[in-house]
């Protein structure tokens, strides 16, 4: 199991009426990848920079079964900058996260983890409604979600899944898992920057509309 797959399954199950933006979900998935790679010792953090581990780019990391979503983690590991100065967490999240939600949706479909149902207007990314099939991956994600596992809970809350606020979450890892906490901070900062950019564009468009109308 991988955290990105668990996050996407959780998102599909809980956000049918209010799906997150593709950009928000992509950044959170990149954060989930980085947390898994840090746990697998494929990288470490020095301050806010990602220092790659000893695995060779393209080499399957030990203990991973080669499923499509786990091959994506290998791709993520291969994408680390391997020369100093190493890349910051936020810079890597933006680079790796570009279009990542669509990539993971394709991966889960190829594994038979999700399927399409009849068309609905509440649909992630404007396609027909996607649902998770009843399979071991779904049950594992459900167990992780219902146990309030902090990493998955924090990532889901960051993209607005589950109707909770950050202050409602369990202890946010700071003492138990400092690298994961650092990545979560990077995800929240990137999401905040993304929202600020959306608001800036909205204000600029509104101003242009007013000028166009002669107001």
Query: Which residues have CB under 8 Å from 170's CB, separation 6+?
Result: 148, 150, 153
The proportion of the chain whose per-residue pLDDT surpasses 90, expressed as a percent, equals 29
- Helix or strand run (H / E) with residue 140: helix 136-146
Q: How many independent structural domains does the chain possess?
A: 1
pLDDT, mean of residues 188-211: 74
Using alpha carbons, list the distances in angstroms from residue 184 to 30, 140, 173, 177.
11, 22, 9, 11
Separation of alpha carbons 209 and 215, rounded Å: 9
Q: What is the pLDDT of residues 148-163, one digit of tens each?
A: 888 898 898 888 886 5
Q: Which of 104-108, 142-146, 160-164, 196-200 has the lowest mean pLDDT?
A: 160-164
CB-CB neighbours of 44 under 10 Å: 13
Pairing of strands 43-46, 49-52: antiparallel
> Please, which pLDDT band fits residue 4 given cuts at 50, 70 and 90?
very high
Of the candidates 186, 191, 192, the residue with the CA atom closest to the CA atom of residue 31: 186
pLDDT of residue 174: 42
Count H helices and E strands in the chain, helices first: 8, 4
Which structural domain, as residue segments, surrounds residue 39? Answer: 3-212
Q: What is the pTM of this model?
A: 0.80
The torsion angles phi and psi of 209, rounded to 5 degrees, stand at: -60, -40
């Amino acid at each position: 199991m991988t955290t990105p797959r668990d996050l996407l399954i959780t998102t599909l199950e809980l956000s049918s009426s209010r799906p997150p933006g593709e950009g928000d979900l992509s950044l959170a998935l990149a954060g989930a990848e980085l947390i898994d790679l840090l746990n697998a010792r494929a990288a470490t953090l020095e301050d806010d920079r990602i220092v790659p581990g000893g695995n060779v780019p393209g080499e399957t990391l030990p203990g991973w079964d080669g499923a499509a979503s786990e091959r994506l983690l290998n791709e993520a590991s291969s994408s680390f900058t391997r020369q100093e100065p190493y890349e910051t967490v936020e810079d890597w999240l933006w680079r790796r996260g570009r279009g990542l939600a669509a990539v993971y949706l394709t991966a889960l479909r190829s594994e038979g983890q999700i399927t399409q149902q009849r068309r609905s207007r509440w649909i992630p990314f404007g396609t027909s409604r996607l649902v998770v099939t009843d399979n071991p991956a779904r049950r594992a994600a459900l167990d992780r979600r219902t146990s309030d596992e902090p990493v998955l809970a924090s990532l889901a809350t960051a993209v607005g899944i589950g109707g909770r606020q950050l202050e409602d979450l369990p202890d946010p890892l700071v003492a138990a898992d400092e690298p994961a906490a650092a990545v979560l901070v990077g995800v929240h900062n990137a999401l905040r920057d993304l929202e600020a950019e959306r608001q800036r564009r909205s204000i600029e468009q509104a101003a242009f509309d007013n000028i166009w109308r002669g107001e």
